[in-house]
Structure 1
Amino acid sequence: MNYDSQNFVRVRFAPSPTGPLHLGGLRTALYNYLFAKRYGGKFILRIEDTDKKRFVSNSESYILETLKWCHIEPDEGVGYGGPYSPYYQSKRINIYRFYINQLLEKGYAYYAFDTDIDIERKRKEYNDCGLTFSYNSKNRMYLNNSLTMTKEQLNRRLQSCSSYVIRFKIKPGEKFNMYDIIRGNIIANTDHLDDKILLKSDGGATYHLANTIDDHIMKITHVLRGEEWLPSMSFHMLLYRAFGWIPPYFAHLPLILRKDGKGKISKRNADRSDYPIFPIQWKAPDTQIVIPGYRELGYFPEAFVNMLALLGWNPGIKREIFSLRELENFFSLEKISKSGVFFDIKKVNWFNKKYLNKKKEEILFFLCKELKKRSIQYKKDFLWKIIYQTIDRIHFIHEIWEHSFYFFISPSSYESSFFNKICHKKSISHLENEKILLSNTSQFTYENLKSLFKNNQNKREIMQLLRLSLVGFLKGIDLFMIFEILGKEESIRRIEKLINKIKEKI
């Protein structure tokens, strides 16, 4: 599909302020952003706050901060201004009323005075007969609405301030074709649609009405949204037709699924999930529960966005590492998957590790901070040597200390499970011999040290003893590299320390 300058791309991200963004919502924002940038268009942020009952006060600031952290800021909309203000649905009620009057005048909508009790009674009646009630063309003429009233009766009801909603009047028995950029042609049947509410009893517009009107007024050319909105597409197309408007292109994005096969990723169980689903930290205003996000856990925004872009989209080449600018240049709707995609936290960690290699200066800064806390001073050359040796072992900047502390702090205790096993004279003898051998080594280098132990009969046992003496645990980088970095004097001092500890124990 071609998008030329005459069809100027305008897309929107329209979240509801009902809580934090999760992976699926943010991916929708990202795809809208990338598509707009790919074709020199505009990315708009609109807040769809028609659901007053589910409104959460700090949601809007969370959305704005998240987009900023990911470097996918809007060109227009809430927090950014633009020619179609206000960008809040709650502040556009008069606009919606103007357009809904057009639908009423043309016979595409009608007043419905049924109370919640009336509707619930009908549902029970149908349920008792093994049926499902739907407010549709089959039932509407038997219900309490303006279609069953004279004009005089309707006027009296309206003048008496009776509570009502306004519903869309579906014409039955009609089949029509729709096109989705990702899923292709779709056939819709109006017999399967109910007369959805357009205006609620409190006077507020429903999502369906507000969404359609705003997209038209704001000249939205492409609607990229989650798969969960696919069933609403037919109703939205009927609304566009009723208004006499040309609809935008639609593209419904695949679901992000849990790797364990237990459905889609959902924010409902975020506090019990074994991996983060929020981009940045969320603090629930009612419970004050704090749920950390990818930012707080040490993920880089570039790595996070790179991962998210490939969660349902494939550029068609073998590469997986892309800068944001490269993603903008490569992105296309036609290469988005139709089927759901599985989320794997290990893959996210892999992406973060790839970007970590470009963050060596930040690792150095973090390491210097850790040393300063402990009043430890070392030259930068020494620190750089350690970073280059340990960087392949870490996925996050904050892990550098865990993998390098032993270069700065001599062990004061030892891994107990192994230490208890080696507390005998044989271990002391081995260590004494290796101490003499190392003391007599003129070139204390990796290659030379490695050759010294090459033909040792008790190599594995001795290597473990030496590692314990230098690190305090049976972990760390290559033992001979640890020797070289620590140097002869410090290495021998640590071996003597372990010898003394074993002597004390036995």
Structure 2
Amino acid sequence: MIRTRFAPSPTGYLHIGGVRTALYSWLYAKRLGGEFILRIEDTDLERSTEESVNAILEGMSWLGLDYDQGPIYQTHRFERYKEVIQQLFDKGLAYYCYATPEELDEMREAQKARGEKPRYDGRYRDFDGTPPEGIDPVIRFKNPLDGDVVIEDMVKGRVVIANKELDDLIIARSDGTPTYNLTVVVDDWDMGVSHVIRGDDHLNNTPRQINMYKAMGADVPKFAHIPMVLGEDGSRLSKRHGAVSVLQYKEQGFLPEALLNYLVRLGWSHGDQEVFSIDEMIEHFSLDNVNSSPSSFDTVKLTWINEQHIKSADAEHLARHLAPFVAQLGCDLSQGPALAEVADLLRDRAKTLVEMAEGSVYFYSDYEEFEAGAAKKHLRPVAQEPLQQLRIQLEALEDWNATEIHEVIQGVATGLEVGMGKVGMPLRVAITGGGQSPAIDMTAQLIGKERCLQRIDMALAFIEVRAGHQDG
């Protein structure tokens, strides 16, 4: 059975590169009817935090990357790691290393001086003397000395590493805690992981890990090392490129499916298609089409993808994601139209949910003053008569809907022998407070009759005061 996993370390937030790795692993499992596992690699006890764990879980939940197993915490599995280390000892494949940090520094400096690659020289590999006093040893894995490790990577192609290039890596620290390279192998073995999809910054670890799988008598999974995500300037993605945590994209008003759509395309393609639904991603995703070179993160492109998803999203889905942003602006969503109707009306005018929320405030909250520029231009004494006519006819409407409202606006314009703009624009400023809104008839329908009439009265009072100042 196909089993993939995402295994973040909770030493920081869930970032964009990690999300893309999770997404590729998730899609691969979904596409082939397999299982996706979430594992929290929290053996770095000093740097791992509960806050980071929560951020990872919240990020995965927001993105909809559901897992079939997990979250599994490595700190809950220490006994299992000890058991495997003991098995390696019993097979003569692990040993205590008593080298001090100073000793290792001297060794590396001497190797550098000789023009050699600095690495552990195996000095305690076959040690059977009396252990030096006062030293808590680390445990090292006996890497094979001869032959090659061949990785048939599903993205990089064939990679061959000579064992003589690899040193005996540490599998348990001096305090007894296991290291990453051991825990990841034991976990993937125990969890039946068939495909390890991860960043290519892990490629250097892979030959050592393959040797450990073989030493344990475990099946070696297939590997796919995907290239890094770079910043727009071509350097490794970091804090200075913007958002650190994936949840910051949530705060900036991106839809989760839009972020996933952008990330799936950041290193993978399906013809010329740019916009994908989640179902389309699952249907078409293949590791065969993953690029082997890095991709650069482009916020402008992400924003464009978000805009496309806002335009095509189900209105109720859009409203669920929009609601917190509208509430943050002090709006009471019970004091106005159904948010799904507002979202449907505003979807073609917003690139993010933040923009959409800002455009929806006048549906739920009354304003104390008009936008200065719009009022100066459109709430002039000449607009008084059109607004008065509108006020009378709109109040008389028994059926408050966009069609009837449109006919009133058109009728007033015809009756006064002026263009629609001379009637529609003063009405727009009157009922929305500004000069920008979707179709004024639909906007008025959603704002509601009573609120529209009150706001027209407010606009007429504003014009009255303005006319008085001009007369004075």
For the aligned pair, the TM-score class normalised by the smaller chain equals 0.7 to 0.9
Instruction: Spell out the pairing of 1:71-220 with structure 2 (5 A cutoff).
Output: 71-78=64-71, 88-102=76-90, 105=92, 108-125=93-110, 129=113, 131=115, 134-136=118-120, 139-140=121-122, 143=123, 145-147=124-126, 149=127, 151=128, 153=129, 156-157=130-131, 162-170=135-143, 174-220=147-193
In 2, are the aligned partners of 1:42 and 1:75 still within 8 Å (CA)? yes
Match of 1:248 among 209, 221, 230: 221
Aligned to 1:12: 5
Q: Which residue of 2 aligns with 1:430?
A: 382
Q: Offset of 1:168 from its aligned partner?
A: 3.8
Amino acid at match of 2:286: S
Post-superposition Cα deviations, 1:20-70, rounded to whole Å, max 9, x if no partner, equal 222222332232222223323332333333323322234334433433333
User: Deviation string for 1:462-505 (max 9, x for gaps)?
Assistant: 98767555544333235676678888966864552342242355
**Are residues 1:278 and 2:230 paired?**
no
Deviation at 1:229, TM superposition (A): 0.4
Higher helix share: 2
8 A Cα contact 2:427 2:456, kept in partner? no
2:175 partner SS: coil
- Structure 2 distance, partners of 1:126, 1:219, is 40
Write the deviation string for residues 343-385 of structure 1: whole angstroms up to 9, x where unpaired.
23344444444444544236668499799966985676xx877
Ranges in structure 2 where 5+ consecutive residues have no aligned partner: 395-403
CA distance 1:497–1:13, shift in 2 (3 Å): same
Note the C-alpha offset of 1:222: 1.4
Deviation larger for 309-318 or 481-490: 481-490
The aligned counterpart of 2:289 is 335
Percent of matched pairs sharing the same residue: 28
Query: Is 1:41 the counterpart of 2:34 in the alignment?
Result: yes
1:360 aligns with 2:311: no
- Equivalent position amino acid for 1:279 in 2: V
TM-superposed deviation, 1:415: 3.4
Task: From the superposition, tell whether residues 362 and 246 of structure 1 become closer, same or farther in structure 2 (CA, over 3 Å).
Answer: closer
| Cα distance in 1 between the residues matched to 2:36 and 2:12 | 22
- Tell me if structure 2 keeps the 8 A contact 1:467–1:473: yes
Instruction: Give distance in 2, aligned partners of 1:322 and 1:194.
Output: 46
1:296-333 deviation digits (Å, cap 9, x = unpaired): 5544444443443333333446262223x443333322
1:21 aligns with 2:21: no
1:167-215 Cα shifts (integer Å, max 9, x gaps): 3445567555321011111122344333322332222222222222332
Q: What is the DSSP-based 3-state SS (H/G/I as helix, E as strand, rest coil) of the residue aligned with 2:183? A: helix
Q: How many residues align?
A: 453
Name the CA distance, whole Å, in 2 between partners of 1:62 and 1:505. 57
1:413 aligns with 2:369: yes
Does the aligned pair in 2 maintain the 1:198–1:206 contact within 8 Å? yes
> Which SS does the other structure have where 2:197 is aligned?
strand
Given that 1:78 and 1:88 are in contact with CA atoms closer than 8 Å, whether structure 2 keeps it comes out as no
Aligned-partner Cα distance in 2 for 1:476–1:124: 70
When structure 1 is superposed on structure 2, of 184-193 and 296-305 the one drifting more is: 296-305
C-alpha distance 172-461 of structure 1, shift in aligned 2 (>3 A): farther
SS at match of 2:168: coil
What residue is the counterpart of 1:305 in the other structure? Answer: 260
Tell whether the 8 Å contact from 2:316 to 2:340 is kept in structure 1 after alignment.
no
Q: Which amino acid aligns with 1:90?
A: F
- Is the contact made by 1:240 and 1:247 (CA closer than 8 Å) also made in structure 2? yes
Check the 8 A contact 2:213/2:220 in 1, yes or no.
yes
Residue in 1 aligned with 2:212?
A: 239
Rate the CA distance shift 1:362–1:449 in 2: closer, same or farther, 3 A: farther
Paired with 2:111 and 2:264, the residues of 1 have a C-alpha distance of 46
In structure 1, C-alpha distance between the alignment counterparts of 2:30 and 2:333, rounded to whole Å = 48
3-state DSSP of counterpart to 1:45: strand
Would you say the 8 A contact 2:258–2:306 is kept in 1? yes
- 1:218-243, CA deviations, whole angstroms, 9 ceiling, x for partnerless residues? 33221111111012222223333444
TM-score, L = length of structure 1: 0.72
Q: Could you tell me how far apart the structure 1 residues matched to 2:299 and 2:151 are?
A: 36
Give the TM-score normalised by structure 2: 0.76
Q: CA RMSD in A?
A: 4.4
1:492 and 1:74, CA in 2 relative to 1: closer, same or farther beyond 3 A? Answer: closer
In 2, Cα distance between equivalents of 1:232 and 1:45:
20
CA contact (8 A) 2:149 2:210 kept: no
2:236 maps to what in 1?
264
Give the conservation status (yes or no) of the 8 Å contact 1:11–1:222. yes
The separation in 1 between residues aligned to 2:334 and 2:70, in whole angstroms, is: 50
- Residue 89 to residue 116, structure 1, CA distance change in 2 (3 Å): farther
1:476 to 437, 451, 454: 437
Q: Which runs of 5+ in 1 are unaligned?
A: 1-7, 80-84, 281-292
Q: Decide which of 387, 391, 416 is 2:347's aligned counterpart.
A: 391
Partners of 2:318 and 2:340 within 8 A in 1? no
TM-fit CA distance, 1:248: 1.4
